[in-house]
Amino acid sequence: MSTATYAVSDTATMLRRNLKNQLRYPTSVIAIVGIPVLFLLLFVYVFGGALGTAVTTIASGGDNYVDYILPGLIIMTAATGSLGAAASTSVDLTEGIIARFRTMAIFRPSILIARVISCEIQTLASMALVFGVALLMGFSPTAGFGGWIAAIGLLALVSFALTWLGMAFGLAAKTLDAASNAPFPLIMLPFVGSGIVPTDSMPTGVRQFAEYQPFTPIIETLRGLLMGTPIGNSGILALAWSAAIALIGFIWAMKAFARDRTR
Amino acid sequence: MTITTTSAAITATGLRKSYGDQVVLDGIDLNIPRGSVFSLLGPNGAGKTTAVKILSTLTTADAGKAAIDGHDLASDPDRVRAAIGVTGQFSAVDLLLNAEENLRLMADLWHLDRRVARWRCAELIEQFDLVEVAKKRVVTYSGGTKRRLDLAMTLVGAPRIIFLDEPTAGLDPRIRRATWQIIRNLVADGVTIFLTTQYLEEADQLADQIAVLDHGKVVAAGTPEQLKRRVPGGSIVLQFAATTALDDASRRLGGLMIRNDEDLSLQIPSDGSAQSVQTVLNQLDTQSIQNLSLRTPDLDDVFLALTGQPRTNTDEKVLA
């Protein structure tokens, strides 16, 4: 007998459960959307007067500060989504229901596959909400249809990668607190990149870090796709970083999932 | 012991498990016939939960072999999983779903036909007295209700072998009795039950065979009657006013007893008859006894009688 026969139906069952849980516990979506929206409001309306003029004269992204910072905050949403993945995975493990699943003749990977899909859906929906808020604040992208499709593809890939990483955090952590604190540095990473201000304006040491960290090429690519700024080799780097993060997250999550957690 | 008996639901030889340098199971042999109730009786930390986790494929043994429903645990875990149902010590329910949805989730994972699933879930909701809460989220349930749902979820696929790890721990006596009745009904349908418990009474009420587990070893096994014959029916507890009196009394009595220096008491196995009390008192200076009481048998008495020494509580919390 092979449980692989049930790969699709078990994954669908698990996915239904996850989506129901997400709808009934909207707190996680509120956190995922809330953090980037808070920063969006803070940077545009509080710091925007001083920062905005300075930034938009350096960067070639037009004179609208919300246009400049939105890509960074969308990527921050992928990071907060990763935190949501870590938390929901960890809750499942502490509640004992995963142990029940493990004693059943099901296609085991369905537990992780369904979690990745549901978290990805959650993150993409959260990104749409952040986009919506930005549009209300005067965000005016110049992208055409192709640009949007490419941008959505990029965001799906980035959130896929960060979801695996978040799940790995959730599976590896011993407690829920540890699981939800672990992805926190990821949320701050767009700040030390080209998310809020161009890297050119930073002191040498910080600038080198900012230019070589994974979020910068991803943000630059997204900005290019949405606002028409030059992408250069950022596109390739963004894809490579996403693939690398997804692979690390996947291998780590698989390892942590297979670990004997009866102790 | 061999594991060739085809009629056995659960067989095991030499199961061993250590966590680090702590030996949790130290060579367990089992042969549990189909349709019977087997109870693993022991204190916290004895290795009961570890035994259930090994047999239900949640973890692997370091050594030894076991077969469930004729399927080897190590080589064919999926067939084992298809034959068993497990209710662990901690509720494995989805708190954000309601009872009906939790049961349907199980039905889907058992790959039941849609119509069968609907019928089966409705039946279990009725049977487990969950009708009123069926549409309410589990997060609002009391502990007892949650436990009933947990047990109902285990039964959705009508497994023929069920593991119950301390199913009544922390439940009030009324719900405990109701749970016992559910277990009896399952047995009447020919289901095999592997039950762990800390309560002698529970094992006595339900089990066909009991194995007493202590520090990872089976220290006694047999039918409830066989074991009870070795447990002399309770104990006499004597409390003294001073350590000197306690010393004097324990010297005079000799034999099996539990001495407690903190509350200056001695516990002596007894069948509870007036004569046995008199025999004990005759050996003592009754003036020095501050208080005398009789206790009905419990796990402590089982251990005292079966192992010849009181159970040690030092590592009781280890696996709690």
Tell me the pLDDT tens digit for each residue of B214-231.
889 998 898 888 887 776
Tell me, what amino acid is at A126? S
> Smallest Cα–Cα separation from A146: which of A204, A41, A217, A225?
A225
What is the reported pLDDT for B277? 87
pLDDT band at B209 (very low <50, low <70, confident <90, very high): very high
Give the nearest chain B residue to A7 (CA atoms).
Answer: B109
Is A230 a domain residue? yes
Segment B165-186 shows an average pLDDT of: 87
pLDDT at A141 over 70: yes
Distance in angstroms (rounded) separating the CA atoms of residues B154 and B132: 20
**Whole-number pLDDT of residue B232:** 61
- Is the pLDDT at A187 greater than 90? The verdict is no
What 3-state class would DSSP assign to A215?
helix
Work out the percent of chain A whose per-residue pLDDT is above 90: 53
Using the predicted structure, report yes or no on whether residue A94 has a pLDDT greater than 50.
yes
Choose, out of B52, B111, B163, the residue to mutate when testing the contact with A (most A CBs < 10 Å): B111
Q: What is the pLDDT of residue B273?
A: 81
Which domain range does residue A154 map to?
3-258
Is the pLDDT at A195 greater than 90, yes or no? no
B88 touches chain A (CB under 8 A): yes
Higher pLDDT, B285 or B272: B285
Under DSSP, the state recorded for A42 is I
The 3-class secondary structure across chain B, one letter per residue, is: CCCCCCCEEEEEEEEEEEECCEEEEEEEEEEEECCCEEEEECCCCCCHHHHHHHHCCCCCCCEEEEEECCEECCCCHHHHHHHEEEECCCCCCCCCCEHHHHHHHHHHHCCCCHHHHHHHHHHHHHHCCCCCCCCCEHHHCCHHHHHHHHHHHHHCCCCCEEEEECCCCCCCHHHHHHHHHHHHHHHHCCCEEEEEECCHHHHHHHCCEEEEEECCEEEEEECHHHHHHHCCCCEEEEEECCHHHHHHHHHHHCCCCEEECCCCEEEEECCCCHHHHHHHHHCCCHHHEEEEEEECCCHHHHHHHHHCCCCCCCCCCCCC
Mean pLDDT of A90-100: 86
Extract the tokens encoding A128. 């749409």
CB pairs A-B closer than 8 Å: 68
Label residue A37 by pLDDT band (50, 70, 90).
very high
pLDDT at A62: 56
Can you give the pLDDT at residue B233? 63
Class of domain B232-296: alpha beta
The nearest CA of chain A is from the CA of B75 a distance in Å of 12
Specify the pLDDT at position B6.
56
β-pairing, B209-214 vs B258-260, is unpaired
User: Is pLDDT above 90 for B83?
Assistant: yes
Q: Taking the model in full, what pTM does it have?
A: 0.81
- Residue A166: pLDDT band with limits 50, 70, 90: very high
Which residues of chain A have a Cβ shorter than 8 Å from any chain B Cβ? 1-3, 6, 9-10, 13, 17, 20-21, 24-25, 95-97, 99-106, 260, 262-263
Give the C-alpha separation, A49 to A67, whole Å: 14
From the list A9, A13, A24, the residue facing B105 with the nearest CB is A13
Mean pLDDT, rounded, for B49-64: 93
d(CA B96, CA B136): 9
Answer yes or no: is A263 within a domain.
no
Tell me the CATH number for domain B8-229.
3.40.50.300
Collapsed DSSP state (helix, strand, coil) of residue A203: coil
**Chain A closest-CA separation from residue B232 CA (Å):** 37
Q: Report whether pLDDT(A102) > 50.
A: yes
pLDDT at site A71: 92
B258 pLDDT more than 70: yes
Confidence of residue B156 (pLDDT cuts 50, 70, 90): very high
B84 near A CB under 8 A: yes
Partner A contacted by B60 (CB < 8 A)? yes
- Position A54 pLDDT exceeds 80: no
At residue B170 the predicted structure's pLDDT band, cuts being 50, 70 and 90, is confident
Is residue A121 in a domain? yes
Q: Is the pLDDT of residue B137 over 70?
A: yes
Give residue limits of the domains in chain B. 8-229, 232-296
pLDDT value, residue B310 = 62
Q: Does residue B173 register a pLDDT over 90? A: no
Q: Worst-scoring range by mean pLDDT, A62-66, A116-120, A174-178, B16-20?
A: A62-66
Number of domains in chain A: 1
Of the listed ranges A52-66, B21-35, B233-247, the one predicted with least confidence: A52-66
Task: Choose the weakest-confidence range: A62-66, A134-138, A193-197, B176-180.
Answer: A62-66
- Are B46 and B28 in contact by the 8 Å Cβ rule? The answer is no
B312 vs A42: which has the higher pLDDT: A42
Can you give the pLDDT at residue B99? 96
B141-160 mean pLDDT:
92
Q: Name the average pLDDT for chain A.
A: 88
Confidence check: pLDDT of B177 > 80:
yes
Is residue A48 in some structural domain? yes
Q: What is the pLDDT of residue B316?
A: 37
With 50 as the cut, is the pLDDT of residue B318 above it?
no
A72 in any annotated domain:
yes
Q: Do A263 and B108 touch (CB under 8 A)?
A: no
Please state, rounded to an integer, the average pLDDT across all residues of chain B. Answer: 86
Angle made by CA atoms B40, B42, B48, in degrees to the nearest 5: 55
* pLDDT average, residue stretch B137-144: 90
A262/B53 touch (CB, cutoff 8 Å), yes or no: yes
Q: How confident is the model at residue B317 (pLDDT cuts 50, 70, 90)?
A: very low
Q: What does the block give as tokens for B74?
A: 């190590």
> Strand B209-214 vs strand B63-68: parallel, antiparallel, or unpaired?
unpaired
Q: Residues B8-13: what's their mean pLDDT?
A: 94
